[in-house]
Amino acid sequence: MNDGSEALGASNPKIKQLRRLSGRRSARVADGAFVIEGPVLVREALAAGVRVQRIFVDAAHDALREEFAELGSLHAVEVAEVQTGVLGSVLSAVSPQPVCAVADTTLVRHAADLWALALETGRPLMVLVDVSDPGNAGTLLRAAESSGCAGVILAGKGVDLYNPKVVRSSAGSMFRLPIAADPDTHGLLGRLRSAGIASQAAVARGGLGHLDAPLGGPTAIVLGNEAHGLDDETIAACDGAVTITMDGATESLNVAMAGTVLAFEALRRRLV
């Protein structure tokens, strides 16, 4: 067993950077890097070809040290041992993780690449307008991948894609799923229309029932902010509106649930 004598401590500059990246969006922007927490997600990031800069492993975990030393050698990534307990004090996860990594913030593509893929494959895009909760954003990325969406476009002023909770909630999907960002929501909807992709605004009431709405093929499923939904101008800028048909007294669904229902309805259309 390693005695940890050469392991990095809390005062090491690399650990200080890790703390900054985990806690501050401004640090992630300045350094062009983000944090991946946990051995499972680090393995998935490496397998997906994410540009990982450095892997940190708790010195007390011999099996993980050996595994990630091999993976680091295979992928030409530096692996650093960390004194026991340091990662738990630095990372944002509630449950301490014995492995984490720092990777480049290079996952975002051009939006035009995504709608070209949607047209080529006949699959929908998910457009998240001002979605601000990282847990919801990560869950929607996971739902988009599992339902076979062509990709996700983060529109407007929403959550930071590289927020640690987004990374955790996406469960690895953000490493594989095509993702784009566009701050100009209305301009984006117009460009989608010009490219031949109709957009359907998800609304709590007044839209066409989701079992009848035109969700098949290369359609943009447009989802709004958790608290306010889509504003009237954005709804008007879409080609149609869709409301999830429900059989109960619930007024509406959480945006992550609503997006999942609509994405899987689009999948059902492709399978029948």
Question: Residue 54 has what pLDDT?
Answer: 97
Query: What letter would DSSP give residue 100?
Result: E
What is the architecture, at CATH level 2, of domain 13-104?
Answer: 2-Layer Sandwich (3.30)
CATH of domain 108-271: 3.40.1280.10
Beta bridge pairs of residue 37: 100
* Percent of the chain residues past pLDDT 90, beyond the cut: 89
Kindly give, in sequence order, each residue whose CB lies less than 8 Å from that of residue 60, ignoring residues fewer than 6 positions away: 1, 2, 4, 84, 98
pLDDT digits (tens, 9 = 90+) for 183-202: 999 999 999 999 999 999 99
Q: How far apart are CA 223 and CA 241, in angstroms?
A: 11
Query: In the predicted model, what is the mean pLDDT of residues 202-215?
Result: 94
Local structure of 77: helix, strand or coil: coil
Q: Could you count the other beta carbons within 10 Å of the beta carbon of residue 13?
A: 8
pLDDT digits (tens, 9 = 90+) for 52-94: 999 999 999 999 999 999 999 999 999 999 999 999 999 987 7
Contact by Cβ (8 Å): 100, 196: no
Domain ranges of the chain: 13-104, 108-271
Judged against a pLDDT cut of 60, whether residue 3 lies above it is answered with no
Query: In the predicted model, what is the mean pLDDT of residues 122-142?
Result: 97
Greatest distance between any 2 Cα atoms in the chain = 65
Q: Integer distance in angstroms from the first to the last C-alpha of the chain? A: 56
249: left (phi over 0), alpha (psi -120 to 50) or beta: alpha
- Quick one: pLDDT band at residue 33, thresholds 50, 70, 90? very high
Question: Residue 1 has what pLDDT?
Answer: 45
Question: Residue 190 has what pLDDT?
Answer: 96
Question: Residue 4 has what pLDDT?
Answer: 52
Question: Residue 123 has what pLDDT?
Answer: 97
pLDDT digits (tens, 9 = 90+) for 40-57: 999 999 999 999 999 999
Q: How far apart are CA 216 and CA 238, in angstroms?
A: 16
Tokens of 121: 């494959």
* Percent of the chain residues past pLDDT 70, beyond the cut: 98
Amino acid at 108: V
